[in-house]
Structure 1
């Protein structure tokens, strides 16, 4: 009896293994729940960012009675063809620039609105040669400090994109409507007055720009005849990770000429990897010129190249993006046709900002009509046609007299 009481107490090896196995099972069961909770928190934070952008836009409109401009800014009247300029931004500023003072970014706005000599690398320019008010060209400039400043409100926490070739990324873009066939504000890059007065370009451009935002002209809430609650104003885009993701790297399609993409939004789909349809096949060609940043989604927050700061309500969210800009074509990147959709790192859809400031989550399965047919180049001869892209297309237009059933999403 004494010998039994003096025996050391402890776990046997079998007992320890059983306990470890139970702990492992519990961790395995809890880990997905923890990950889901984290993503839910990130998704809520993203939704809040979209809401803040909406409040900034509404406050801007209250102050100026119009929306912030898309592809607005300054020009020196001399840089032609369009390219890089230290003297002006060549009418290429994003609406996000205009709303900075309404997003508690007054300090950054002051740097942009006034001449400065500070460079992003800590050096300074000569006092006789400062950066101009409203900054130099966004594209191709990594020395101007505001353009490389990443703003937390403009980033979705679910998007892991960082670093080169992008700088100053953004995950939020302006809605350009359901038409990409008439490049958004195509004529505006012809900066001399005689070109701006070319009536056919102007009229056709106006007919083709059906979204809440379009180039070089500032809309107002009064222009939204379909109702602010029925019209998408801003939405999510993913930034590129350098992995040939179909949503962030635009494939080039010119097999049958430029009109192939113009009349067929699905014309690039045969370039997807059949084994991994989220990515492009290795044989697909991409436009390159002066580096990759200009052709990667969301790479420059202050730029209003359509691939940087705009999206179309043509293909459903998280579909492939496509362009007919030729390799080496800088001007083509600005004015060529490009079908750029909304996208996100969230599971199953994207956040969008409605004109009335409401934030909604649109699923990838939203009814998007017949994407393989229909003329997507409205001109003065066929303006006002109903969107061929179903509910999604109707939500992207501000004055097409299509009132969507909001209970459908």
Structure 2
């Protein structure tokens, strides 16, 4: 009598148990994989910043000064838009002295080819007329504008990988060339966009030089170059630059410029308040406090197109106005930005990032540190240090913004004991 050979298979219950186990393992592993990927992106971002720090030191070794921020070429009768990538002023190829700290660094972080286009100069349309002209004794700090109207100057539109954080997904229009790394202008909003303007016709009665010395206390100062010898607090204790998010068009309070309904610098009628760095905070969405409420008074609407749509955080790496390539140490990292009437002028501009819990900052000694959002930041309602007859915090005052503010000043003699 022959018996048939039977093969035993999996029962339905056993199969479901195996699938359930696999599902649990995947659920446990996916967050770990995502965390590993973000850790790798964060490390890459830190390495990019270290390269910029090394470039800063090499630049200083070559020229005995740091690259100037918001400086470049101009003429005596400039007019029109101050945006170096939109159109050419009637006076010829120049940039209205408003290039950021980054163009001069390009040959120092392996962007020599781009620097050759900027400095030669470039004739993009081949008509025999250069797009811009270089003026001044040091062409690295005196580079100029694009050419004829409608001919957008391609170097300023170039996205440079070493200026981008891999965790930031922003790309494409309406931005020009994006940057995630911004120069530190100190702990005050006053004159942060103009400095002393020592290359323009200025009456001594304006007091710009006095105002600049009082308020512009960062490693970088608009309209002039600084040196390491000016950083009396120590290179290891002073922030040279900070990380910033670039705008995604989603009303993110860290990247889209809201217009302060009052003054972010207090006022002569009431210097103690209520105007201060928190002037824009009532416009935050209570349900999503990282975003502006729909209908907040933006400097320009997120729905606009054309040149105004380009006016957002990190959208122009070569443009020296604070919104695009600078930061200050007033509100702690990842707080909202708040502009004073005009996207080109003063603003409360904390650093920001897509990393969890904080931002990278570049110290003046070249070290990159991760600063948490919870860093001690003093009294956010305090008016900034500035020069005025009625001011509460005059020149030389201790930073009202605690440890965070102290890290942003180059020569205020604050002592820092321990890690931060």
Q: TM-score, normalised by structure 1?
A: 0.89
Contact 2:185 2:192 in 1 (8 A): no
CA change 1:74–1:46 in 2 (3 A) is: same
Instruction: Give the Å deviation of 1:157.
Output: 0.3
Corresponding residue for 2:35?
36
Structure-to-structure mapping, 1:317-396, within 5 angstroms:
317-325=333-341, 332-335=342-345, 337-379=346-388, 382-396=394-408
Contact 2:278 2:381 in 1 (8 A): yes
Corresponding residue for 1:239?
246
CA change 1:199–1:222 in 2 (3 A) is: farther
Partner SS, residue 229 of structure 2: helix
Q: How many residues align?
A: 392
User: Of 271, 283, 295, which aligns to 2:311?
Assistant: 295
CA change 1:27–1:74 in 2 (3 A) is: same
Corresponding residue for 1:211?
218
Structure-to-structure mapping, 1:95-244, within 5 angstroms:
95-118=101-124, 124-133=125-134, 134-136=143-145, 143-185=152-194, 188=197, 192-193=200-201, 195=202, 197-198=204-205, 200-244=207-251
Query: Distance between the aligned counterparts of 1:180 and 1:257, measured in 2?
Result: 8
Structure 1: which 5+ residue stretches go unaligned?
119-123, 326-331
Instruction: Give the Å deviation of 1:96.
Output: 1.1
Corresponding residue for 2:329?
313
Q: TM-score, normalised by structure 2?
A: 0.87
Partner SS, residue 350 of structure 1: strand
Structure with higher helix content = 1
CA change 1:205–1:100 in 2 (3 A) is: same
Contact 1:182 1:378 in 2 (8 A): no
Q: Which moved more, 1:177-186 or 1:297-306?
A: 177-186
Contact 2:246 2:255 in 1 (8 A): yes
CA change 1:257–1:300 in 2 (3 A) is: closer
CA change 1:142–1:311 in 2 (3 A) is: farther
Contact 1:246 1:321 in 2 (8 A): yes
Partner SS, residue 307 of structure 2: coil
Query: Distance between the aligned counterparts of 1:32 and 1:100, measured in 2?
Result: 37
Query: Distance between the aligned counterparts of 1:375 and 1:234, measured in 2?
Result: 20
Per-residue CA deviations over 1:45-65 (Å, capped at 9, x if unaligned) read 001011000000000000000
Query: Distance between the aligned counterparts of 2:262 and 2:64, measured in 1?
Result: 45
CA change 1:233–1:141 in 2 (3 A) is: farther
Instruction: Give the Å deviation of 1:184.
Output: 3.2
Q: Kindly report the root-mean-square deviation, in angstroms, between the aligned alpha carbons of the 2 structures.
A: 2.5
Contact 2:190 2:215 in 1 (8 A): yes
CA change 1:114–1:197 in 2 (3 A) is: farther
Structure-to-structure mapping, 1:396-407, within 5 angstroms:
396-407=408-419
CA change 1:262–1:395 in 2 (3 A) is: farther
Instruction: Give the Å deviation of 1:270.
Output: 0.6
Query: Distance between the aligned counterparts of 1:391 and 1:142, measured in 2?
Result: 46
User: Of 297, 320, 323, which aligns to 1:304?
Assistant: 320
Per-residue CA deviations over 1:342-388 (Å, capped at 9, x if unaligned) read 10000000011111111111000000001012344345882101000
Contact 2:359 2:370 in 1 (8 A): yes
Per-residue CA deviations over 1:275-298 (Å, capped at 9, x if unaligned) read 000100012111129634443110
Query: Distance between the aligned counterparts of 2:53 and 2:325, measured in 1?
Result: 15
Query: Distance between the aligned counterparts of 1:45 and 1:178, measured in 2?
Result: 28
CA change 1:171–1:256 in 2 (3 A) is: closer
CA change 1:363–1:132 in 2 (3 A) is: same
Instruction: Give the Å deviation of 1:2.
Output: 5.2
Instruction: Give the Å deviation of 1:107.
Output: 0.7
